[in-house]
Amino acid sequence: MSQEKPPLDPHPLSEYVAWAGNRNREPILGVLKEKLPKDPANVMELASGSGMHINYFAPHFEHLHFHPSDKDEVVFANIKKLSRERGNDNIADPIHLDLTEPSTWIDPSTNGKFAAMFCINIFQVAPVSIAEGMMECAAHYLSEDGFLLIYGPFQAEGRFTTDSNKEFHETLSSAGVSEWGLKDIVDLKEAASKQGLELKETIDMPANNFSLIFGRG
């Protein structure tokens, strides 16, 4: 695949998403190597999309069992295809999970609680209201000392942390889709607090992104 940046396209199977995923996967992997448990445990990815991230991370953590999920079942075949091709037998079949529909959230007693959950590059193309469901879902699934990692570009207390993030926000906003644009970390913190979660750590990442680590208060 060409390293040239493709046109903006948020569809999970687009060339743009694949390009962005290849660019950010190593820095995220570095954070996961530091944060994920060293003992066997379950880990869930929210909004797995094409499955590119979970299938890249899984071979580095053979002691962990990864669970992809997405509200769009059309991506499931691609997730499973990647798992087969790469021999990732520590990745479960993807499950349908809509963050806005608690009825789709499985009973944690089925597979046990999750030691960690992660979600990558969602909020710039999703309404900030989805944070409410994400935090409620995390409170529902996470073990007592588990954490939720959210990766992406964000505003911080109403300001853009870099000129490039402001330009990215303006590019997204110009598409005419109301929910597109950089969301504010403050709104995620407020949604988390309603579920007994708090922002434990903010990690600066390459390309002016952040890894936000949420856990129980």
| Average pLDDT of the segment spanning 198-206 | 96
Number of domains the chain contains: 1
Interatomic CA distance for residues 90 and 42, integer angstroms: 10
The 10s digit of each residue's pLDDT in 167-190 is 878 877 777 777 878 889 999 999
Residue 119 lies in a domain: yes
Taking CA atoms, 201 is separated from 27, 49, 54, 106, 198, in Å, by 16, 25, 22, 28, 9
Inform me whether the pLDDT recorded for 1 exceeds 70. no
Residue 162 structural domain: 15-216
Residue range 12-24, pLDDT digits in tens: 665 766 666 677 8
Using pLDDT thresholds of 50, 70 and 90, give the confidence band for residue 153. very high
Residue 10 lies in a domain: no
**What are φ and ψ of residue 202, in 5° steps?**
-115, 115
In a domain, 1, yes or no: no
In a domain, 63, yes or no: yes
CATH number of residue 211's parent domain: 3.40.50.150
Please give the pLDDT value at position 78: 94
Query: Tell me, what's the pLDDT at 135?
Result: 96
- Asked whether residue 8 is assigned to any structural domain, the reply reads no
Bigger pLDDT: 109 vs 161 = 161
- Within a domain: residue 185? yes
Would you state the pLDDT for residue 165?
Answer: 85
The CA dihedral of 102, 103, 106, 107, to the nearest 10 degrees, is 90
**Structural domain includes residue 59:** yes
| Residue 3 maps to a domain | no
Q: How far is CA 214 from CA 4, 31, 32, 42, 104, in A?
A: 34, 14, 14, 17, 22
Render pLDDT for 41-100 as a digit per residue (tens, 0 to 9).
Answer: 999 999 999 999 999 999 999 999 999 999 999 999 999 999 999 999 999 999 999 999
